[in-house]
Chain A
């Protein structure tokens, strides 16, 4: 337990010798350190997030008024496709891999992932996949004129992607950019699965593993199962486009519905791939700030595994309007509603954790508390959409857009913000500013609700998604204007966030090793941790090794 001895002095930030910029840059490029790769994942995810956020804002300006002329149809369709593709593959995924990379080895008391070089490979495949996608803006039409980013929507339904309807190479960039990054994601997922299986420190049985690690482990396994169907479908689409195959070519006997099965067999579990890290973060932050252990740990593990498994049997709920048999629709309504149960159990357990605690509402906890409310609403609109006949009305309408933004912003992004505020001190040695953090929280949550609560309504009034313009007088005008106004409010929040990160990196309050009085192993080492993480590999006897250390009179292991 020597390494847990907190008398080991932490190095204060800025103490290390400053190398020249070129050397430091070189260091980041050649690194195989899980912490540096994790930070690079998160940083590139944030950059892609800002780019895709600007795209969303441009679309919202176009839709603020009926028959607006800010964007033409082609530009709008490209922005819409790039926004969705970027947010899913180049923001959500790197956030998962970033936090998993940085924290899993630290939380299980390991020195790195199982395959550090494979880890670096995974990151660079992801990054260059993203850059290739964006290169389409100048490269896709070759010599013949202006480039075109993909414009077939992020789920790229056949046969719109066939050569007949999608000329040029934009769709090929969409395929190849995602294909490359999927190779990286698969590599990193293998790495994570192996690491958790084999590299836990002495004493850390599966029953003592932090729930954060458990959830990300299930998530990595899920990635392995679901990315391959997407990759296979994309290769088939490439065959269609270049080799004259007819998998999805409806003019030659191919099937448009086949693509949807492939895509959503990936696409729906992908939603859980994205949201599980949010659950992992909430399961870490809520106990620490409530000053209580997580309520119902074994049930939470079981619920996570249930979600992982059921998530692979719900994909047809994206296809209720395709015209499948009533029996198929009924089955997938049942499976989709079933997944609400383990998700609900998680919500209840987080509430059970807060109940009877002494809750400290620091910024990470603010985000997690807001998440609980927003995510319940997201889940309920999800059950509404699982009700097949209602989905016949609301599928592909703005109600769906509002629903999944509640999932991915109110669910995922809120928790990513929580995680950034929570672990920033560990990664940099400096605290993020509390006051700016509260401003960020206030403006962003306000803007989010102003944008996405009203967005449900035009969907209920018959407004389909993915339209670049609409006729006046349908009852949609005022709602769309409010939605667009909300985006501006969110942007204010984001500016506070960026300012906070930049100013705190330079002059934030020094954090110390364990600023939150937390319980998992990453807080036992210095902030930032040394390259080898722990001087001596720790030994644990319970789920909360640092609680045991701080409370020798009442250690957790006595209750196990």
Chain B
């Protein structure tokens, strides 16, 4: 975690910091401008008709009966056709700019796997596995480096959406979708799953942490190390390794090799737990271990019904996994 990086609380598509999102904002102003003008004109005509041609009290003479005019029809057919044609050209250009972008040789490759209801994040070239908080390097002058994402799903359809970085791309099972981001500012950017994926769709949040290239390299190094083994929390580790925690979670360097749940090797390097549903602080972590459903009803992690002292021990152990 880089303390210097601000969290951008509002995932606002009008404050893009990455190439695809910036292209979309430009297109928005074209569309918004033309649409606003049309709305004003048509609204004005309606207003004019409603005031100018309103029947006055007692006026029951029929107005002239006009059946139509081919010239007028032609005019108001051709004008929308021209407008639509211009919009179409602008649209087509941006589609190809974004979708047909080929990854440069030094692009960072990341695989994002959607699960009910959390994100698995893999860096195949770097040997790093994490969850729910995607770290990418900023693309700065002199070190331009976009990140290309391969999107996969372990179960149902999810959707990757971080509005300040890029438009959304669905995460479809049995399919590999690609998208890319090229952030130019550091900071934490918020997003969340945008395709309904079941009970806890609402709490499938995603954070993208954009690090400076140096910070990113340091983060990668830290993530590649196996889990710390602190003798002071051996009791908690014993509880963790002897209960079914290990069936779903991985802690590198231990017997825990499960893959149904998030990798916990460097749990404490993340700012949130439960895919963003709670802050990663001791009290919340403990509450999560006691009963995940109190925080995220319907989450697939069961309440383990551990006695209090074991909960304390496990929480203490997990709190050392930096």
Contact = CB atoms under 8 A, between A and B. Distances in A.
A468 B202 contact: yes
A269 B16 CA distance: 34
B256 to A, nearest CB: 26
B31 A387 contact: yes
Interface residues of A, number: 94
Interface string B138-161: 000000000000010101110101
Nearest to B48: A355
B175 A292 contact: no
A77 B168 CA distance: 22
Nearest to A550: B62
Interface string B36-48: 0011001101100
A316 to B, nearest CB: 13
B9 A469 contact: no
B19 to A, nearest CB: 12
B128 to A, nearest CB: 25
Interface stretch (A123-131, A233-241, A334-342, A416-424): A334-342
A470 B66 CA distance: 55
Interface stretch (A33-41, A111-119, A248-256, A487-495): A248-256
B43 A333 contact: no
B254 interface: no
Contacts of A386: 91
Given A338-B84, A471-B205, A73 B67 contact: no
Nearest to B68: A296
A165 B80 CA distance: 46
B297 interface: yes
Contacts of A454: none
Given A330-B95, A345-B76, A462-B13, A373 B196 contact: no
Interface stretch (A49-57, A358-366, A499-507): A358-366
Contact of B159 (A253, A321, A359, A461): A321
B265 interface: no
Nearest to A556: B65
A352 B175 CA distance: 51
Interface string B46-79: 1001100111000101111111110011001100
A233 to B, nearest CB: 16
B224 to A, nearest CB: 31
B88 to A, nearest CB: 5
Interface string A466-493: 1111110111000000000000000000
Contacts of B199: 73-74, 77
B24 interface: yes
Given A380-B35, A384-B35, A390 B24 contact: yes
Interface in A142-169: 152-153, 157, 159-160, 164-165
A389 B94 contact: yes
Contacts of A347: 42
Interface string A272-297: 00000000000000000011110111
A237 B298 CA distance: 25
B161 to A, nearest CB: 7
Interface string A365-382: 000010011001100110
| Chain B interface size, under 10 / 10 to 19 / 20 to 34 / 35 or more | 35 or more
B9 A390 contact: no
Given A73-B297, A359-B50, A376 B65 contact: no
B80 A340 contact: yes
Contact of A257 (B42, B166, B175, B276): B175
Given A291-B63, A389-B95, A383 B168 contact: no
Interface stretch (A9-17, A24-32, A91-99, A392-400): A392-400
Nearest to A333: B91
A160 B198 contact: yes
B96 A326 contact: yes
B50 to A, nearest CB: 6
A358 B80 contact: no
B100 A326 contact: yes
B62 A291 contact: yes
Interface string B94-113: 11101110000000000000
A475 B31 CA distance: 24
A168 to B, nearest CB: 13
Given A323-B175, A475-B12, A165 B198 contact: yes
Given A74-B298, A392-B24, A396-B194, A326 B46 contact: no
A396 B195 contact: yes
B12 A359 contact: no
B173 A250 contact: yes
A355 B51 CA distance: 11
Contacts of B32: 384
A299 interface: yes
Contact of A356 (B53, B173, B196): B53
B57 to A, nearest CB: 10
B238 interface: no
Contacts of B91: 330, 333, 337, 386-389
Contact of A255 (B84, B174, B194, B197): B174
Given A323-B170, A330-B95, A462-B11, A160 B196 contact: yes
B236 interface: no
A530 interface: no
A249 B43 CA distance: 49
Given A159-B156, A160-B157, A460-B13, A341 B81 contact: yes
Top-3 shortest CB links A-B: A392-B167, A462-B11, A467-B202
Given A333-B91, A372-B46, A396-B195, 6 more contacts: A159-B155, A251-B174, A292-B64, A323-B170, A323-B175, A389-B91
Interface of B: 9-14, 20-21, 23-24, 27-28, 31-32, 35, 38-39, 42-43, 45-46, 49-50, 53-55, 59, 61-69, 72-73, 76-77, 80-81, 84, 87-88, 90-92, 94-96, 98-100, 116, 151, 153, 155-157, 159, 161, 163, 166-170, 172-175, 177-178, 190-203, 205, 276, 297-298
11 contacts: A257-B172, A291-B55, A291-B63, A296-B68, A360-B55, A380-B39, A389-B94, A389-B95, A390-B24, A392-B167, A396-B168
